[in-house]
Amino acid sequence: MICRSLVFVTSVVILLLTDNAYLAAQHRLEGEQLKRSRINFDQGWQFHKGDIAIKRAVKAGKQGGLTDADVKVVTGEEAVIAYTDKNKVADYKPGDWENVNLPHDWLVGEPFLHDDNIGSQPAGNGYRQPGIGFYRKEFEIPEGDEGKRISIVFDGIFRNSTVWVNGHLMGNHESGYLPSFYDLTDVLRYGKEGKNVILVKVDATDFEGWWYEGCGIYRHVWLIKTGSLHVDQYGTFITTPVVAPGKATVNISTTLQNDYNVDRKFTLISRVFDKNGTVLSSQSSTQSIPTHGKLTITQQANVVSPQLWSPETPSLYKVRTEIVEKGITVDNYETIFGIRKVEITSNGFFLNGKLYPVKGTANHQDFAGVGVALPDKLNAYKLKLLKEMGSNGYRCAHHPPTPELLDMCDSIGMLVLDENRQLSSSVQGIEDLTTLIRRDRNHPAVFMWNLENEESLEGTVTGRRILETLVETAHQLDSTRPVTAAMNHGWDEGGYSDVLDVVGYNYGQRGMQYVKDHEQYPKRKMFVTESTSYVATRGEYEDNRGQGYVSNFGMGVGWGLQPGQDWKHIVQYPFLGGTFVWTGFDYRGEPTPYRWPCVSSHFGIMDLCGFPKDGYYAYKAAWTDTPLVHVFPHWNWPGKVGQKIMIRGYGNCEEVELFVNGKSVGRKKAEPFEYFEWEVVYHPGSLEARGYNGGRQVASQLIETTTAPEQVTLTSDVDHLNADGCDVAVVNVAIRDASGRVVPVANNLVRFSVEGDGRIIGSGNGDPSSHEPENTSQRSAFNGYCQVLVQSGKTTGEIRLKAVSETLVGATVILKVQ
């Protein structure tokens, strides 16, 4: 249809215009055809779990280097990956494949296996066996696209992926955390030539980390179409070398690629826009680029009275890049950036000229129900929860993040410590670091590069040499951001720290190492790259080795601190710059201090669903100005009537008073960033805490003994969804008594069903020892709560989610789809 329309328009032009005018109009049409497009390629894939025997072709056949006859499922059944000719599909058996949309993590649906040999260390990946899988997709390319450069970008595949298109081997990519790219132009079929088939092999049997890493194409896939003269991949680099109240200088570096067989003369236009779409500056450069060459052009613009980016005011700007030939735009490219000034000195972290300690958390990338295959909405949901707690910093632990997460951090205001996966100066190691920095260096949220985490070579001469090469590489690619390493030893050995801009301390409170080093090396720039490592299971108040639960009264692990105590050090020693608490959320794998039956960690301030643990309130009290008091445990202890119970709490008030069944048991002065405690005698009824500032009550919390579970309630984070097949509602499920109070020990099984164009994509309950399937339509509550994730289809209307549980009153939530 597109091609016929272009032919019709061209015919009209021939009739109405002179020869010269016709040529100009034809060139305009060509320009429109050559403009860049970025097409989401997530829909309509097929998945086959298990290996497929593929023979390596030694002679290209009619349809390419790999024929259908060369491809067999291990069982002996055929698994067609290419068309035998333009009109006929060979004996393709859909039963071999499952229809899926991306992102997709097949490991999250696998059963748990009590085998400590799985993963890089015992229990490391959460007792699920990774393996090999294949993805297949059929697609068409319009005839009018012939002549364009067409490439595919995989934002993340875990891991060791191999790609074929129409039987042609395109390449292999080992990293599970960095994007891979393939130019498909030469091997595609256009229009009437027939459909195209892409095949992706994913071999996740090896690992990169010591946590749950998933299996599959778990990030987005994009089809990129450009003309043969275009902006290179990650081809813009925008910096703000001068930031002042009245004016900011914006440097725009643009790298172009010429895929033509002749030199091309062009004009590069770069326009700077504010958030309202107003053009603030326009720069133009006319040059020539040689055949099959690259050219980098630097331009400079000024922004008057700039709006500075910060977590409180995340103001963003945009550069729109255009390549113009003979008056026609042949490529268009947009880059979001922010104007801010970051300085890390021996006195601390400064943002826009002010001391600004970073209130950060470290985070892996998984979530309840979906493994590592998070729809964009779930990344946004996690960031929202962190912001509500008062956090302004996010550490990508221990790997490069998905690009959309950085976009979100730019827009909501969250400083990011962007992290390289491994300490390696090999060809692959340098290539991976280069990709990371070129991809992410325009994000204002990214304030520092972290080159490694707790590598065994820290503090050694060999480690220093490798690190020095990585530091030099980072500085060449981006001289505007400092580099660090998250070290847990060897800070003052082997010259390792000397090659860093900022020395990172993981658990530097041990022996007060960072204070001693500050005294010994007063010019050293320092940052607490990791702290706390407090372990607790939400809603549990006694250690239970058999169940794998850890009490919220626990003393944590030997190398960590109590919640909030790490922030006390940042306040006392501002030269530390800030901290990243380990971790914002529980994550699959690395269960500590117990292994089986644990399958998830206990480190999170929140659990795997985002439900707060008690330690959450230590950070909210420290990081927000809202008066707060929080005490625990719950007040349902039928077997402990008349016995003494320890009460612990967190707050940011000057004094706290505790009431048991309406009677005061005393008022205490609260020490900032430390917990307070009482020992009281338990009798059913109520527990109330009141916080005072200047003798005036400013905060309170009431906990009551509940009756038996009576009803299920549903609370969605949104009341409407987009009809895009991607949007997600996070629906939190609570088990309540007749008075509407959450029953803190309830574990009722809840079953879910959906009416309308929507589907359940996963569920969770935050139980680190739960072995329930995550991709089914039921879930047991854990200590009063569970969660279900509902994804929209592509039809407007309503989605009705129903929840039922035996003996309990059910609930329904209605989601509008628009």
CA–CA separation, 771 and 768 (whole Å): 9
Amino acid at site 814: I
154 closest CA partner among 410, 451, 439, 383: 439
352: which strand partners?
none
CA–CA separation, 438 and 452 (whole Å): 18
Q: Please, are residues 99 and 46 in contact by the beta-carbon 8 Å criterion? A: yes
CA–CA separation, 412 and 358 (whole Å): 15
458 in catalytic set: no
Quote the longest CA-to-CA distance of the chain.
Answer: 101
Three-state DSSP state, 101: coil
Three-state DSSP state, 296: strand
777 phi/psi in degrees, rounded to 5:
-100, 35
HSE on the CB side for 653, CA within 13 Å?
27
193 in catalytic set: no
Instruction: Count Cβ atoms below 10 Å from residue 661 Cβ, excluding itself.
Output: 15
Residues 325, 458, 530, 774: which is the catalytic one? 530
Give burial (CB, 10 Å; 0-12/13-18/19+) of 409: buried
Q: Please, are residues 789 and 762 in contact by the beta-carbon 8 Å criterion? A: yes
CA–CA separation, 253 and 220 (whole Å): 27
Sheet with 221-226, side-by-side order of all strands:
37-40, 221-226, 149-154, 180-183
Three-state DSSP state, 229: strand
Q: Which two tokens stand for residue 210?
A: 């010591």
Instruction: Count Cβ atoms below 10 Å from residue 1 Cβ, excluding itself.
Output: 7
CA–CA separation, 5 and 697 (whole Å): 72
Residues 454, 493, 654, 674: which is the catalytic one? 454
486 phi/psi in degrees, rounded to 5:
-85, 95
456 phi/psi in degrees, rounded to 5:
-65, -20
DSSP state of 108: G
CA–CA separation, 476 and 479 (whole Å): 6
CA distances for 251 relative to 169, 248, 293, 302, 339, angstroms: 40, 10, 23, 9, 11
CA–CA separation, 774 and 500 (whole Å): 43
Q: DSSP string of 201-214?
A: EEE-SS-SSSS---
| Relative orientation angle of helices 19-34 and 2-16, to the nearest 10 degrees | 160
In terms of DSSP bridges, do strands 720-721 and 808-817 run parallel, antiparallel, or are they unpaired?
Answer: parallel
Q: Please, are residues 443 and 437 in contact by the beta-carbon 8 Å criterion? A: no
Three-state DSSP state, 20: helix
Q: Which two tokens stand for residue 611?
A: 């439900």
Q: Please, are residues 764 and 369 in contact by the beta-carbon 8 Å criterion? A: yes
Length of the chain: 818
CA–CA separation, 629 and 701 (whole Å): 7
CA–CA separation, 710 and 810 (whole Å): 9
CA–CA separation, 393 and 388 (whole Å): 12
Amino acid at site 410: D
655 phi/psi in degrees, rounded to 5:
-135, 155
Cite the active site residues: 454, 530
